[in-house]
Chain A
């Protein structure tokens, strides 16, 4: 008896030893800070990579600078811009920059390495001098159209005596609400290769971030506030209205008076639903740029998904939108929280080597400044890969096979749901908060997926899931264990899939 026990103990010990490297694996990502040149404030407005692998960055203090990651050297390209908040590198001598008054092309026409030509691409939109009239973008679609986003104007700021563009006082009676005194504040605009700037979609409050997914679908974020109950990601379609009424003043043929005074129920009927809600204080308070992982695996297992910056917390988010019954919706989850990333994460760009560069900015609000990069170390992370809505619940996919006993325990899944209320008030509390019991758990054959069954799923709700005790078969605990799925529509299929 005794020798047998010792033998078992020895084998167990050997097994533990050989498992050890897996449970104590190094981190899957590391965060590095980039040294800025002396004298640079470091409020990052935009990041992009030049075809030659150098970083192009613009800063709120007006500069565009290039950084060579191999030599770790900075070079000045342009100066004097007005709060640039977006950059798109055409090549190393032609850079598009979205500054407050216009979209500008910076050209180095004499080859000395610095821009000497500051060409107006378009300034065919209004500015009133209100401090909140930020301009974001540009991003380019496959047909060569550029998209920019124009912030609404803040009730905490005024309007200058002289404005650019026709002044419309319709929304200027606006207690505590963002307004739109000049065209097209609160709109996303399309700039065509033919040189026309056209209104594209309305209803935005503070859309500090636009971007395409790999299939060419346009997404934009908006910041919590009046008419934005909690920050959100929208899938943008031409001609649609996304919820903040001020912009409607510039809708062609608008004849319904001050849109800020229309009934919330009527406005609610006009608006397209956000694809993914970011519960305030839980996921994000001030989301920024959405960026698709186009690295083909160089940045880890999340190819095709969106990363979204967050200004207010030391975080970026990972978003996995999907279409259910023709409606965009899906889940968001913190990405790799607590590993040295700073606050103020305003801009994102993937380098040719697949590392994710993050530009920080606080612009007078909360946040840090500077540039960091996140590098995938090659060690597979232990994460939720995807959350997919099925008729009676959700299928969670994981990056590694799960420990069966841990995955089978209902106590390891705490589900709540709640909704947010659309109104002119600044932000919304959570309503109809309820704990939802998980009534069934099924593990896929490869143990990389779990189907969670609920008694019912109600549309227009956020389903917030907290996982505890979930680990991989080799014992690695799950990182980032809070995930929120926005259910706009339930899955209309008859049955849950048998094989998943």
Chain B
């Protein structure tokens, strides 16, 4: 109530002043060749200050055209050839009503103008070569309500109008093969180094193995990955874990050789697919380690089968972890969360990670 009264007073005041302050519209040029808003509304004949901030990593401009003239102006801009750069790719044309010239990344420029008295849909578009096909929107000059976004023919196709749905079309990668577990992605994962490997197994189990530290990072059950953020646009994101993590290795979960307090030199050698399960191969100092992670038969957890060649010293593995899983080892001795393997024991052993309270 108070608000609406204040608004009325403000409106009256501006009306009495005779010259209303310009209505301010803020647009951003964003990654993936888009403006952050695909449309806005102004009243016929009002004073407008339109500001474009470039948050992308390449140059953009903004041209407002006569109704229906967007593609004509885009084509005229593309035909500028060698003349384009000197004039911000803005062609001389009666169809160009107002424009903001080149805005470099991180910069902001504005244009002030009086909105047409003639109601209509006035397109705005970036006329940089190849940008005009997706980088546009609609300035509605009207006092009437706008059509529903989904029915609006004047905004880029497939756009829901706000940035959250802009790239919704690519929420999952497409593949020319059936997605039958086990399969893997090398991708950016949370709580791992940038050389992560995400593996999806039958029984809705998945794990993240880090090819940087050459160690298991965490295991989860439920869905596999949330890709949307990663596969849209340029990939400035990490995949999401689409389930519940029941085992998360402690930060010290890496083999040590001889000296239990120092991390040996690590070198990732790749992996072999064994019935489509990856068997990781890495080198720690002079030790060759092969680690094959498979399912426990009832789907209650994972079995990490190790083969190690060249061991002459005691091998140590700190087992602290969080989550509800229980961890056991087929060989060696565990004391205060530290697993000790004698060279002969290290040649072949398994680590079992079992989901607590699993009901097959």
Contacts and interface: CB of A to CB of B under 8 A. Distances in A.
A240 interface: no
Contact of A83 (B106, B133, B213, B235): B235
A427 B54 CA distance: 14
Interface stretch (B38-46, B192-200, B346-354): B192-200
B280 to A, nearest CB: 10
Contacts of A339: none
Given A65-B176, A116-B273, A364 B232 contact: yes
A340 interface: no
A163 interface: yes
B175 A61 contact: yes
B174 interface: yes
A117 B134 CA distance: 41
Interface stretch (A44-52, A98-106, A489-497): A98-106
Interface string A47-63: 00000000000000111
B84 A281 contact: yes
Name the residue in B176, B186, B188 with the highest tally of chain A Cβ atoms < 10 Å from its Cβ.
B176
Interface string B206-242: 0000011100000000000000000011111110000
Nearest to A282: B82
A146 interface: no
A309 to B, nearest CB: 14
Contacts of A364: 31-32, 232-235
Interface residues of A, number: 69
Nearest to B272: A117
Majority SS at the chain B contact face: loop
B268 A123 contact: yes
B113 interface: no
Given A80-B186, A281-B129, A131 B270 contact: no
Nearest to B212: A164
A62 B239 CA distance: 15
Contacts, number: 172
Interface string B139-177: 000000000000000000000000000000000011111
What range describes how many residues of B lie at the interface? 35 or more
Interface string A154-186: 111100101110000000000110000000000
A102 B195 contact: yes
Contacts of A82: 185-187, 195
A416 B82 CA distance: 10
Interface string A126-159: 0111011000000000000000000000111100
B59 interface: yes
A156 B269 contact: no
A397 interface: no
Contacts of A120: 268-270
B271 A118 contact: yes
B191 to A, nearest CB: 8
A366 B131 contact: yes
A96 interface: no
Given A79-B175, A102-B211, A118-B270, 9 more contacts: A74-B176, A129-B188, A129-B193, A156-B56, A156-B236, A162-B194, A281-B80, A312-B129, A430-B86
24 contacts: A40-B176, A63-B177, A74-B176, A102-B195, A115-B273, A116-B272, A117-B270, A118-B270, A119-B269, A128-B194, A129-B193, A129-B194, A156-B31, A156-B55, A281-B89, A313-B129, A364-B32, A365-B58, A365-B234, A366-B133, A425-B104, A426-B105, A427-B104, A464-B82
Interface of B: 31-33, 55-59, 80-82, 84-86, 89, 104-106, 128-131, 133-134, 173-177, 183-188, 192-195, 197, 211-213, 232-238, 268-273, 278
